Amino acid sequence: MILPGATLGVLGGGQLGRMFTLAARVMGYRVVVLDPDPHSPAGQVADAHLKAPYTDAIALMRMGEVCRAVTTEFENVPARSLEVLAQRCFVAPAPETVAVAQDRLLEKTRAVEFGCATAPFANVEDEGDLVHAWSLVGGPALLKTRRLGYDGKGQARVDNLDDLVAAHEHLRRVPCLLEGFLPLDREISVVLARNAQGEIAFFPLAENRHRHGILDISIVPARVPEAVAEQARGMATRIAEGLGYVGVMAVEFFVLADGRVVFNEMAPRPHNSGHYTLDACATDQFQQQVRALCGLPLGDTRLLTPVVMVNLLGDIWGEHGPDWAVLLRHPGVQLHLYGKAEARPGRKMGHYNCLAPSVEAAVTLAEETRAALGIAA
Q: What is the CATH number of the domain that holds 134?
A: 3.30.1490.20
Q: Are 151 and 231 part of one and the same domain? A: no
End residue of a domain, out of 91, 111, 129: 91
> How buried is residue 320: exposed, middle or buried, by Cβ count under 10 Å (0-12/13-18/19+)?
exposed
End residue of a domain, out of 91, 108, 133: 91
Looking at the 3D structure of the chain, how many domains does it have? 3
Q: Are 191 and 172 part of one and the same domain? A: no
Structural domain harbouring 352: 184-373
Q: What is the 3-state secondary structure (H, E, C) of 122-184?
A: EEECCHHHHHHHHHHHCCCEEEEECCCCCCCCCEEEECCHHHHHHHHHHCCCCCEEEEECCCE
In a domain, 318, yes or no: yes
Q: Are 213 and 362 part of one and the same domain? A: yes
Per-residue pLDDT of the chain (377 residues; tens, 9 = 90+): 999 999 999 999 999 999 999 999 999 999 999 999 999 999 999 999 999 999 999 999 999 999 999 999 988 888 899 999 999 999 999 999 999 999 999 999 999 999 999 999 999 998 889 999 999 999 899 999 998 766 667 889 999 999 999 999 999 999 999 999 999 999 999 999 999 999 999 999 999 999 988 999 999 999 999 999 999 999 999 999 999 999 999 999 999 999 999 999 999 999 999 999 999 999 999 999 999 999 999 999 999 999 999 999 999 998 888 999 999 999 999 999 999 989 999 999 999 999 999 999 999 999 999 999 999 87
Q: Are 200 and 321 part of one and the same domain? A: yes
End residue of a domain, out of 154, 180, 206: 180
Q: Are 19 and 167 part of one and the same domain? A: no
In a domain, 108, yes or no: no
What is the C-alpha separation between 365 and 367, in angstroms, rounded? 6
